[in-house]
Amino acid sequence: MLKLLINIGIEIVRWPYLVLFFWLRGWRIEAPLPEIDKMVVAAAPHTTNWDYSYFLAAAASFRRRPLVTVKLSLLQGATGWFIKLMGGVGIDRSKSTNAVQAMAEMIKERDCVIFVFTPDGTRSYRPHWRTGFYYTAIEAGVPIVLGYIDYPRKRVGFSQPIHPTGNLQTDFAVIKEYYRTRGVGLYPEKAAPVELPPYERKDDEADDGVEDMEQTSDSLEASNG
């Protein structure tokens, strides 16, 4: 019953939201969301709260309701029901060691789900990304889709699915190359560079998988023009 009410609620707000907030303001989707049931979406750059609104509108155009983690406190009170309706999922961020497993379980429990992460981790500048999205995808056994937002051109787009290999450095090189020519935040100076945190880096990266990485990168470029 709850699922039916959520679906009805989504359809009621979907078209007015898309028309008034997205399309009439000149926004467009230039690379569609892949037609797969489950995925982890890394959305970047993240420099303002408006980012989620535009990604939500893009997902709504494909009749998808993305999930996104929020502070548990935001689910309390009068606005809590609306945040849940829009895909807000409460996570106790003070228990970071269990967060990846908890989010992976949410994905496994559902037949069809998009779980959105903002790897920047904050709307303020930081020198690297967070990698929780990558480990969640590994744990849940689902592909990663890279989403980008371009404020000057009013465009949102998505990559083709990337199946993580477990080699973070190799996979991250593909991710970094994809964002090299995509994504401009509302406040570019606040955007985090697409870099691994220091504790995830290796000075001597293995050569294994480099050829596959380049082929994957070429495939992503071809699929998105």
Q: Using 50, 70 and 90 to split pLDDT, how confident is the model at 11?
A: low
CA distance 184 to 67: 23
Q: Is the pLDDT of residue 192 over 80?
A: yes
CA distance 15 to 202: 47
Coil, strand or helix at 80: helix
**Owning domain of residue 53:** 2-223
* Whole-prediction pTM: 0.81
Coil, strand or helix at 128: coil
* Structural domains counted in the chain: 1
Residues 143-159 have pLDDT tens digits of 999 999 999 999 999 99
Give 30 or 204, the one with higher predicted confidence.
30
Coil, strand or helix at 157: strand
